Amino acid sequence: MKAAPLTDDLRTLYQEVILDHGKQPRNFRVVEHHTCKAQGNNPMCGDRITVTARVSARGVLDDLAFEGKGCAICIASASMMSEALTGQSTATAHKLFEAVHDLCTGKIDTDQAKAAVTPDLSDNIDKLASLSGVRQFPVRVKCATLPWHALLSCLDGKTQTTTEK
């Protein structure tokens, strides 16, 4: 089968949610008094973002933000990540990372992703599911998951992550 032209691919990918978050990203800033900071780099696309977070002594993400440059998918994913995880525990962050990663690689569907996280994140999964259109495009999967890898590096005390390992 012949591959569809890029414009068609993009039309499928750039759904409303992605456009909204890509154009008007939430929490596009640096967290004041952040407790961790990590840069994510996706040279395949040119995405380069920095995630900052302030984690409380109880292990809650009191604030989470990002800044940098990236394609609409990367920025939208980072924006939705910051919305979903502000006020959540680092344990929840790890769980949601797994769910989003598996959604974007096509391992699980939206319902399975919802079952994998706490019920209060169901609405977030609905939005994040818009990223699952990237599953046919390996390069785009990296765009969508980069912010999440950066967040995990941040929480693990690392300062950098790259999609090229």
Residues that bind Zn ion (CB under 5 A): 45, 47, 71, 74, 143
Nearer to Zn ion, 36 or 141 (CB): 141
**Terminal alpha carbon distance of the chain:** 31
Instruction: Please state whether beta strands 36-42 and 160-162 pair in parallel, antiparallel, or not at all (unpaired).
Output: parallel
d(CA 50, CA 91): 21
Nearer to Zn ion, 81 or 143 (CB): 143
CB of 110 to Zn ion, least distance (A): 22
Q: How many helices (H) and strands (E) would you count in the chain?
A: 7, 4
Q: What is the Cβ-side half-sphere exposure of residue 31, based on CA atoms within 13 angstroms?
A: 22
CB of 54 to Zn ion, least distance (A): 27
CB of 144 to Zn ion, least distance (A): 8
CB of 36 to Zn ion, least distance (A): 23
Nearer to Zn ion, 79 or 88 (CB): 79
Cβ 34 vs Cβ 153: under 8 Å: no
Nearer to Zn ion, 35 or 105 (CB): 105
